[in-house]
Chain A
């Protein structure tokens, strides 16, 4: 079953076509990498899925529903995390989590926050000011917030960028654990190809808003006759396919 179905998606900004007739599906229960060089259209695509940007043409279905008719239902069943979006630093950690739990209509707010705080090992951070957290702690907090509503779909925009290798590795293990234990479908963007090879069941390459290729990472490496996914990325980004 496809959690996300994108068909003939186009997005024009003034004189630029950021997304050009893009079509792909994301299967339920998978971790799918959305890859491409800077300016490829990854973030724009994710923002259109989240209804933060209105497509020029084409359709996006999430859980078989369209945003214009079922916005609240869709957003209730998914969540989002990005290092470029912050939680208010002048609130305490538990205040941020309580606020967002209520925004998502979570029933037993305290119990849910406590459960996730133990899961992500941030219980001792709950009374602290969000602005005092380290980058790694903020990443765990963002993931905690992203799971408050028990989402079926998680959109993660470069979740390990600016993390040191140790914290990045722990984050990836956490994501694998979330996917395995909670059955969450994850759409993941990253520039770290080793991370993508480790995490993703399938990858989708886009460049200049156009779908270039998609498939299982190991099969793509074989298909392009390259050493690893990083070289496949470079070949596609440089038009050397």
Chain B
């Protein structure tokens, strides 16, 4: 609620939800159209790139929302006010995850509508699988967001660069714009350890071959379940450590 008060009047927040994603959509959309004109075989370039870009926005916004919501309270020196209130850690985590859901909902609807209007790209061309694709990306974004929040709790704002940079570390390995087979064999195992990889590989299977990637969705979901359990345990441990070390007052 405290964050939602800000959105109607905060230009940087509105830019984060609407402006930057639109810029990315325009860039990738025009690139896709250009490549399509080059006539590179039977590939549906627009669907491949735009689909990947929009799905990537879901993942990165989901992570960003969780991390930045926590950081804002640290920057404002408000975090102690939150932790001396009768708020359970589970309630705190749930509220940041729900904020992420609201944010990507807004961004997702906007990108879906604009990509259809500008490029005739239909995000629902993946059929019913659009929903589990997006849910898996949302959950993995939460995993990354909670992980960075736990690190910031433990090490203070000197670690806040992770809130903005970790997602880009994941991007090359998530097979966002190219298949896992394009990566060196020695590092493909890391790709397959990421739930996002199965979403993007699955998306490409739907576009290029028309097959429905049930196995990819199940694998992605299974890995996500393990990671979310681990990261929640990790967060609780970091919080307990911070209290033992007395560092809640010194996060900034």
Which residues does A use to contact B, with CB under 8 Å? 11, 13, 18, 43-44, 47, 50-54, 71-73, 75-76, 79-80, 82, 84-92, 95-96, 98-100, 102-105, 145
Contacts and interface: CB of A to CB of B under 8 A. Distances in A.
B127 interface: no
Contact of B249 (A76, A84, A86, A104): A84
B84 A75 contact: yes
B86 A76 contact: yes
A76 B82 CA distance: 12
Nearest 8 Cβ contacts at the A-B interface? A75-B86, A86-B77, A103-B85, A72-B86, A99-B2, A53-B246, A76-B86, A54-B243
Contacts of B87: 103
A88 B82 contact: no
Contacts of A89: 76
A52 B84 contact: yes
Given A85-B80, A87-B76, A90-B76, 13 more contacts: A44-B246, A50-B84, A52-B84, A75-B86, A84-B249, A85-B78, A85-B81, A87-B81, A88-B73, A90-B10, A92-B5, A95-B2, A103-B86
A52 B240 contact: no
B249 A100 contact: no
B225 interface: no
B238 to A, nearest CB: 13
A167 B250 CA distance: 28
Interface of B: 1-2, 5-6, 10, 72-73, 76-78, 80-88, 240, 243-246, 248-249
A18 B86 CA distance: 26
A126 B62 CA distance: 33
A56 to B, nearest CB: 8
26 contacts: A13-B245, A13-B246, A47-B248, A52-B80, A52-B84, A52-B243, A52-B249, A53-B244, A54-B240, A72-B86, A80-B81, A82-B80, A85-B77, A85-B81, A86-B78, A87-B76, A88-B2, A88-B73, A88-B76, A89-B76, A90-B6, A92-B5, A100-B85, A103-B82, A103-B86, A104-B85
Contacts of A80: 80-81, 84
A2 to B, nearest CB: 21
B248 A99 contact: no
Contact of A52 (B10, B78, B86, B248): B248
B84 A86 contact: no
Contacts of A104: 85-86
Contact of A84 (B73, B77, B243, B244): B77
Contacts of B244: 53-54
Contacts of B10: 90
B78 A53 contact: no
Contacts of B73: 88
Given A53-B243, A104-B86, A105-B86, A95 B5 contact: yes
A241 B243 CA distance: 35
A104 B249 CA distance: 21
Contacts of A71: 86
A65 B80 CA distance: 22
Nearest to A102: B1
